[in-house]
Amino acid sequence: MERTLPISEEHVIFRESLRKFIAAEIIERYADWEQEGIIPREIWKKFGENGYLCPWASEEYAGSGADYLYSVIITEELSRAGVGSLFVPLHNDIVAPYIDSYGTAEQKARWLPGCVSGDIILAVAMTEPEAGSDLAAIKTTAVKKNGRWVLNGQKTFISNGILSDLVVVAARTGGADAPANQAISLFVVEREARGFSRGEPIKKIGLKAQDTAELFFDDCEIPGENLLGQEGMGFIYLMQKLQPERLICAVGAQAAAERCLEMTVEYAKERKLFGKPLSKFQNTQFVLAELAAEIAVGRSFVDDLIRAHMDGKSVMNETCMAKFWVTEMAKRVADRCLQIFGGYGYCTEYPISRFYLDARIQTIYAGTSEVMKLIIARFMGL
């Protein structure tokens, strides 16, 4: 369906350039990276060299000052290509904005140019073994000693956990009984910080090239100036950034669902069963028609939210709805499309298998579907 976003000729050129870049630099090598469980740092550098990292950053920090649609295009093209393990959207649109929004002038000057060039890879560490979607349950602590911060605790399921050079860490600076909105602060932990270590990459059923890891802070010392924003404001900062985080998840899931359908329609027209194309069977037509309708609804909803976000509107409730509904829809689409591929869909040489596996995590990370429903219910006054 035709997009309703304010897409300019420059956006179209950018999308075509990025699509060619992905085809030339990533597609044929991606299976190897899945086997290795990590993506080479050189690829991040190439993303930076081509202007695909933090395009929204101001020229002062070596960015382009581009609008949000450039971030949307990057997320969509990575999702459409089935290379979702490249967590560039996490770097661009989830972690770097914490530095841009809450960092001091000195912090931004020190870190943002490297984020744009690819010399610095970012991660955010919120989740703990006993604190997932419930951020108030965070147990990692940060205590100030002799002008430095000392962190102790453990984080898990951290995307970019191995490659990251800077990690934005949520830690408790107030007492155990203090309310979360006054007791949590954000810190920037650099790769070589004393007392900071990483576990082995976590093996997963999907996103196999994504370097997800546990992080450990054992009397980890960082400079006092690595506090991000004000002490005790971390929980509020995290809440403020949930809208763009959940929106970018919906953007990626929507694009993946659209690509799944495209691949399946192409396959159904070519695959023959009992002497005629699979696409000529009524069941196939009905399944694909149903999926097309769901995807069209998702596209309309997601594009509406993109416009609202670009206009600076608060759509927290609606982005929770999109995170829940669109990711669940994308999971259903991948499953039903794989069924049409039959046995071939279960073979890794067919891209639909990767879309199927990668779709499963979409309803879990950045807030599970169940948590999204709870938040929506609260907005309803329930």
Any idea which residues carry the catalytic annotation? Answer: 245
Structure tokens that stand for 77 in this block: 């093209």
* 267 in Cβ contact with 340 (< 8 Å): yes
How far apart are alpha carbons 5 and 303 in whole angstroms? Answer: 7
How far apart are alpha carbons 360 and 341 in whole angstroms? Answer: 18
Tokens 């404001």 correspond to: 233
User: What's the per-residue H, E or C state across the chain?
Assistant: CCCCCCCCHHHHHHHHHHHHHHHHHCHHHHHHHHHHCCCCHHHHHHHHHCCCCCCCCCHHHCCCCCCHHHHHHHHHHHHHCCCCCCCHHHHHHHHHHHHHHHCCHHHHHHHHHHHHHCCCCEEEECCECCECCCHHHCCCEEEEECCEEEEEEEEEEECCCCCCCEEEEEEECCCCCCCHHHHEEEEEEECCCCCEEECCCCCCCCCCCCCCEEEEEEEEEEEHHHEECCCCCHHHHHHHCHHHHHHHHHHHHHHHHHHHHHHHHHHHHHCEECCEEHHHCHHHHHHHHHHHHHHHHHHHHHHHHHHHHHCCCCCHHHHHHHHHHHHHHHHHHHHHHHHHHHHHHHCCCCHHHHHHHHHHHHHCCCCCHHHHHHHHHHHCCC
